[in-house]
Structure 1
Amino acid sequence: MVRLTIDGKVVEAKKGTSILHAAESVGIKIPTLCYIKDLLPDGSCRMCMVEIENRGRTKMETACTAQVAEGLVVTTNSEKVRNARRNVLDMLLSNHKTDCFSCKANGDCKLQDLCYEYGVAKTTYEGEQTDLPIDDSNPFFTYNPNLCILCHRCVNTCHKIVGRGAIDTMERGFDSAIGTPFHVDWIDTTCESCGNCVQACPTGALTMKRRKEYRPYQVDKKVLTTCPHCATGCQYYLVVKDNKIVDVEAANGASNKGLLCVKGRSGCFDFVHSPDRIKYPLIKNHETGEFERATWDEALDLVASKFLEIKRKYGSDALAGFACSRSPNEDCYMMQKLVRCAFGTNNVDNCARVCHSASVAGLAMTLGSGAMTNPIEDITKNPDVIMLVGSNPEEAHPVVGMQIRQAVQRGCKLIVVDPRDIDLAKKADIHLKLRPGTNVAFANGIMHIIIEEGLQDMDFINERTEGYEKIKEIVKDYTPEKVAKICHIDAEDLRKAAIMYAKADMAPIIYCLGVTEHSTGTEGVMSMSNMALLVGKLGRPGCGVNPLRGQNNVQGACDMGALPGDFPGYQKVSNPEVLAKFEKAWGTKLNPNPGTHATDIFPAAIRGDVKGLYIFGEDPVVTDPDTHHVIKALESLDFFVMNELFMTETAQYADVILPGVSYAEKEGTFSNTERRVQRVRKAVELEGEMRLDTDIFTDIMNRMGYPQPHLTSAEIMDEIASVTPSFAGISHERLDKEGGIQWPCTSKDHPGTPIMHVGKFTRGLGWFYPAEYVPSAELPDDEYPTILMTGRILYHYTTRAMTGRTPGLMQIAGKSFIEMNIEDAEAIGIKDGDRVKVSSRRGEIETTARVGTKVSPGETWMPFHFPDGNANWLTNAALDKYARIPEYKVCAVKVEKA
């Protein structure tokens, strides 16, 4: 530590600290334009000039670059300093248009604020100002180089924080300008349209196009909330003017650190105000097939009476309900309570069933808790090595992808295990481009090498695990050569990856749906756990087994008991003590038998075993495999009800549609992928008869004979805490004061649990699951010679119910496509951009070919977002034996020229 004086205050600071940081630590504000926290200082704007006296000599330096030293005397606001800053502003204005009145950043411009503060109204320098062309090509923002002050904040943000590098400083001297490579239009670069550069810009050079709809002084309020897309849990402010959301500003949340992706910044509120929102209850007229507007009493009376009729006639288990993984915890809790207390069945589930139920089941069996073990920041900021398996976070969890790119820049090694050349594979030290469906073989091969090399952690194994000898015997057969043949990878690369992972001090496994969405998905998850157990990389920082959950609250929906075998907090329905506890808490007799999984409800409906179904906010016609099968199931039901915002493809089959409200119109909480419970806050109230979903559930419960009082969202969370040990210390009041809390949080003074399994696993000893490789349920043959994989793209989310209502996202990515390998395409005469017919044993679609080398020969890949070519008409509903999760990632198809 050193002591110095800043503006007469004695300051202690750590050696190496900048004077800017030292001044901030004692509340002294020094103006900046180019400075970005946590990056090496640029020092280009000169706005942070201060006077520094050292041993009788005084000099002017930039506070962001100058470091503290013993005995320095620093003056930050003398007349000499102020004159220097005025001169900086004067020079900036010499080449900066001052038509502020027409500038979209007017009122939110740091340059304007500083000029006002320092009394610089116009430049004293003579000369002609440049008039460079404005780039308006991006659908979300505009770049006006005439307003650029070359502070490099946008470039540094794009290169060093986002990690994309789509823009740079071009030319030199007076010709210097921020631009794109080869001066192409912004839209044609590698830009992700995330807008983080725009938020970094201190002037009006980069502005969001929607800023023309308002000025900062017209804003009524800014509401801090949580993004409704993926499960990263990004925090941002909804900017509201006249009861309408007009903008989004990133907040410095625990998981996003002030970053947002294109969906979070630009695709999270157009749908809220969409003119095609369902605003009134609708009942289908079965004579005409059309929906007709009804009153709430008419709709709710019909729903309750029909469900009661089915219950009396066929029994409680003839009813089922699906919760919504995009809705708040409080909604999911009340939905599962409705099914259990009013329907009288445990036939309740959520869409985790088709994406991450393998994580819930697999990690619960091996470790005792089916959730991510470590925080996002911990597994991206601290590791020496990251092993990324079956996950494409740059597109599915973009802000996590940005943080992984930062890790690579810092020198972290990256192992990518993925059948496609995802963009992160270009930055990887090793890319194992394995054949789809061979994750278990890969993991066993890694373990074989680690044991062969003597790199296993025997102390950890002996003290904290069981089942080692059995798994050791199994993996003996998985030699690098054998695994290379199964997985279609290089044996030496497998060896290098195993040794790199084992020898690293900190190395997390991060995985996603490429591991779970298989008929052996749960065993794939347990194989990830096996690898971490073998080298003792659990229960400590920078390590762990970390599933990136798909939707914003898929973790929370499972936490809240929207599962057929689990009450809230994963308390088992089959446990008599747990059952008695919930019967007492809820004041009713409960069904003691575990319910039917969502993916088994549809076959049960076709058989006639399930007669009534209530779906809350899900669209299985689009999202579930084998679309013909799903439609047949819905048409087989006696009575089908939906809570929805829009007339989705699934809603069209309903008998009654009950209009709920979006995340921006309600209070509540989401639980992100790292188990962090965060607040969702009401920003607007729209015209119409839409109602809080929790109130709808409450009214149905009462009409069906279960006495449920109407509760606020905060009161519901209090009830959740009272019956759920892992949520016992969580309340809205506490979240509002402290921010997000990671469960388990077992009391009101418990800080939450960032890292799971420290010292002891939830189940006691970690279990090595004896996993053997089993091929996928459907493999290519002569008739269907190619493997089809499915997944997400950056610009859309699941069914596009939200993102499809943002025109800019549809402009960038609005149509389906199929990725093909060039060898396969040439063999059947298909060129890039050709229309193709893709067929499987379940259906056929048409789409557009994207030909290249991103996928291997014999393999293809499609997104499932688009109605003009929805891959789920083709996919296979073969189910995992544990989690009943469908095999989205492998089915056999035939591709022909259309």
Structure 2
Amino acid sequence: MTNSIEEILNTDAIFVIGSNTTENHPVIGTVMKRAMKNGAKLIVADPRRIELADYADVFLQIKPGTNIALLNGMMNVILDRGLHDKKFIEERTENFEEFERVMKQYTPERVAEICGVDEEDIIKAALIYAEAEKAGIYYAMGITQHTTGTHSVMSISNLSLLCGNIGKVSAGVNPLRGQNNVQGACDMGGLPADLPGYQKVFKPEVQEKFEEMWNSNIPNKVGLTIPEIFDEAEKGDIKFIYIMGENPMVSDPDINHVRKALTNLDFLVVQDIFLTETAELADVVLPAASFAEKDGTFTNTERRVQRVRKAIEPVGNSKPDWQILMEFMNGLGYNKKYLHPSEIMEEIRTVVPQYGGITYDRIEKEGIQWPCPDIDHPGTKYLHKAAIARGRGLFMAIDHRDSAELADTQYPFIFTTGRVLYHYHTRTMTGRVEGLNKLSPKSYVEINEVTANKLGISHGEKVRLTSRRGSITTWAKVTDIIDENVLFMPFHFAEGAANYLTNTELDSIAKIPELKVAAVRIEKLGS
């Protein structure tokens, strides 16, 4: 997030797109509701009528995969009515002319046809955003998990720059992370082109810096993303995979493909706190300690580095992840020893400039938001205040492009996935809680009531869903919160798993799979 969670309370307009915030980020959803009580206006864009839509000043129930068209349509209105921040654009951005030329093509009338929404609602949303003194955009994987995901994020950046909402309190571009330490994992180099602190592996000065720090040779070639790793494993070109705290046999697209990849390896290691569906395929399972059994830090969605403290001793033979990894690298001949996670944190702050001033002592009572370059720095509440990090904000002239797979006569429905309030990711933990399983016990597919009537499907009946990649059986949930031509499933459940159906087509830039749009057919199986 460029801005902070607490800043939502004082914003004038909230634009939620591709995020079911109250179910997937309920704490932030609560802050949004409080902001609306303070007078903030709310725009919601989503293929489903999520809870926040009931609070919205305007709700845009867009077709899956049309985010860019909607954003372009809003920017067309803002430009046409002269509501853009001309001073900010002139002083702090570049490439505006080319961007403006492309946006002029996205009239509200054209965009309404692409997105399946009312033209007047596009105009209303644009005016709410542009006329607000402070407006923040909040998005999640409904934006990124598309073949156009990177361009969708660029379009969000365009909208924020257009109205001068970058480098301003209670505004900004705010991705809501899917898990509690996704931000921290990225910060520490959990990306194929990056060493810790987003320092690129292919830059000689970065390679030299880390080789000196670690007294070891560092590869200088960009690695593969997870989908690329699985592709290479299925071909037989990758022989060994080490999976930590992830369950791709439920969470990744085209599970049949994932199984083929993992079973084609010479050796698979899984490090986890439970025997997951993925761990069942492993040659070796390393039992890891849970969050309550270890010390360390998490970095949350607002860049806040926070302590996590051991409440109980590790159960059985489990060990903290850092200790397992240390013993693993020691066994491979790298003899660095750590006695406590605080020593690792000290190393982090010496190699990651953004973490330079963050120590265990300083975050004993309250976390610090990076960048925090030195020990006297208080941390950074919101980014780009003095200047945009790259120098000038870059407008990108982005066109709408259809999803990789559209509905046709063989597969007439668009299928999309998401999460529910009661379960977390692949239910590795929440699936063991009796109360949560009573509230959300099994897989289901949401079907519009008109569609269900046409197909003779009743609420609670068993149905079969089929895509070009696989087939599953699940239960029908007849509802009016989804459009007639769209089907929605939560992806949490291993039985009747949604990801047997999803598409592995990738965003060409970020290599994110198109989990949010696939073409399927549905058949009634009976009660």
Which consecutive unaligned segments of at least 5 residues does structure 1 have?
Answer: 1-371
- State the partner residue of 1:719: 347
1:590 equivalent in alignment to 2:218: yes
Partner in structure 2 of residue 779 of structure 1: 406
**1:390–1:511 Cα contact (<8 Å) kept:** yes
Find runs of 4+ consecutive structure 1 residues off by over 6 angstroms: none
Query: Within 1, Cα distance between the matches of 2:374 and 2:451?
Result: 59
Counterparts of 2:418 and 2:167, CA distance in 1 = 31
Displacement of 1:544 in angstroms is 0.3
Which of the residues 460, 466, 469 maps onto 1:842?
469
**How much has 1:867 moved relative to structure 2?**
2.1
**Percentage of identical aligned residues:** 52
Which sits farther off after the overlay, 532-541 or 690-699? 690-699
> Secondary structure of the equivalent of 2:301?
coil
Amino acid aligned to 1:891: A
1:750 maps to which of 362, 369, 377: 377
Secondary structure of the 1:689 match is: coil
For 2:386, what is the secondary structure of its paired residue?
coil
Q: 2:3 aligns with which of 338, 356, 374?
A: 374
SS in structure 1 at match of 2:42? strand
- 1:399 deviates by 1.1
Is 1:851 the counterpart of 2:486? The answer is: no
CA distance in 2, matches of 1:580, 1:532: 37
In 2, Cα distance between equivalents of 1:462 and 1:609? 50
The alpha-carbon deviation at position 575 of structure 1 amounts to 1.2
SS of the aligned residue for 2:399 comes to coil
Report the 3-state secondary structure (helix = DSSP H, G, I; strand = E; otherwise coil) of the residue aligned with 1:736.
coil
Q: Is the 8 A contact 1:416 1:428 kept in 2?
A: yes
- Whether the 8 Å CA contact 1:728–1:747 is kept in 2: the answer is yes
- Alpha carbons 1:814, 1:866 under 8 Å: kept: no
Specify the alignment match of 1:430 in structure 2: 58
Partner of 1:503: 131
Q: Structure 2: any 5+ residue segments left out of the alignment?
A: none
Asked if 1:459 is matched to 2:459, the reply is: no
Does 2:515 match 1:888? yes
- For 2:230, which of 602, 607, 623 is the aligned residue? 602
1:310-325 to 2 correspondences below 5 Å: none
What secondary structure is seen at the aligned counterpart in 1 of 2:197?
helix
What does residue 437 of structure 2 align with? Answer: 810
- Is 1:557 matched up with 2:188? no
Instruction: Output the amino acid matched with 2:425.
Output: T
Post-superposition shift, 1:709?
Answer: 1.5
Is residue 2:118 matched to residue 1:490? yes
Verify the 8 A CA contact 2:10 2:38 in the aligned structure 1.
Answer: no
Letter in 2 for 1:856: D
Whether 1:676 aligns to 2:304 is yes
Counterpart secondary structure, 2:414: strand
CA apart distance, 1:687: 4.1
Amino acid at match of 1:452: D
Q: CA deviation at 1:694?
A: 1.2
Distance 1:687 1:743 in 2: 33
**Counterpart pick for 1:824 among 448, 451, 454:** 451
Q: Map 1:110-121; keep pairs closer than 5 Å.
A: none
Residue 660 of structure 1 pairs with residue 283 of structure 2: no
Residue 897 of structure 1 aligns with which residue? 524
Q: Distance in 1 between matches of 2:459 and 2:235?
A: 44
Distance, in Å, in 2 between the alignment partners of 1:479 and 1:692 is 55
Alpha-carbon displacement from aligned partner over 1:554-610 (angstroms, at most 9, x marks no partner): 011000101110111111111111111111111111111111111100001112221
- Alpha-carbon deviations, 1:537-556, whole Å to 9, x = none? 11111110101111000011
Q: 2:334 aligns with which of 706, 725, 730?
A: 706
Number of residue pairs matched by the alignment: 525
CA contact (8 A) 2:45 2:62 kept: yes
Describe the SS at the equivalent of 2:361: helix
TM-score, normalised to structure 1's length? 0.58
**Per-residue deviation at 1:686?**
4.1
Root-mean-square deviation (CA, aligned residues, Å) is: 0.9
Distance 1:404 1:711 in 2: 42
Q: Which of these residues, 419, 430, 433, is aligned with residue 792 of structure 1?
A: 419
1:120-269 equivalence runs, <5 A: none
Q: Could you list the per-position Cα deviations for residues 655-714 of structure 1 after superposition, in whole angstroms to 9, with x for gaps in the alignment?
A: 111111000000011111100111100000144111222121112212212222234100
Deviation, 1:837, is 0.8
* Residue matched to 1:121: none
CA contact (8 A) 2:138 2:176 kept: yes
Cα distance in 1 for partners of 2:159, 2:208 equals 38
Which one-letter code corresponds to 1:648 in the other structure? T
- Quick check: which has more Rg, 1 or 2? 1
2:392 to 765, 777, 780: 765
Partner SS state of residue 790, structure 1: strand
The CA deviation at 1:823 is 1.6
SS of 1:469 mapped into structure 2: helix
SS of corresponding position for 1:886: coil
Q: Contact 2:289–2:315 (CA<8 Å) still a contact in 1?
A: no
